[in-house]
Chains A and B, each alone.
Chain A
Amino acid sequence: MVVLTILAILAVGLATAVGIHVLRREYFPLLSELERNQGLEDALRELPLSGGQEEKEVEP
């Protein structure tokens, strides 16, 4: 039962840790910058929509 308890907590903990890590990496910088800079938000609204499916800049 101890093994099961550890594994179950580990599984939920892993999902939480990955979630918070990705949120902090992908969202936090953008959201905090947008909050600080209203002009940036307006400029952003002018850009065309991509939905993550347009071609992105390719690494050399």
Chain B
Amino acid sequence: MCDLNEDNIKTLGKLCRIEIADEEVPGLVRDLKRVLEYVSQLGQADVSGLSPYSHMEEHGIGSLRNDEVGPCLSREAFLANAPDQVGGMIRVPIVIKQ
């Protein structure tokens, strides 16, 4: 089931925006493969007739509040942690190029 390898781990990294240096590849592949091989035992569990999300409603997961405007952070509070800002807004590099 597990086809993670040294060739495709950087692609996986791209999906979650984590760059993997060449020297990190063998160790990461070894560790992740070991965990993936271990978790593949779940394939042996008899789960016939079970619905994967049947318990969630009971625990409030997935319950939504009403879509109403409520109090939220002030601009000042929100920007207090921004790594870079200008004129009351978060500054980022130019995204749309001419």
Interaction A to B? no
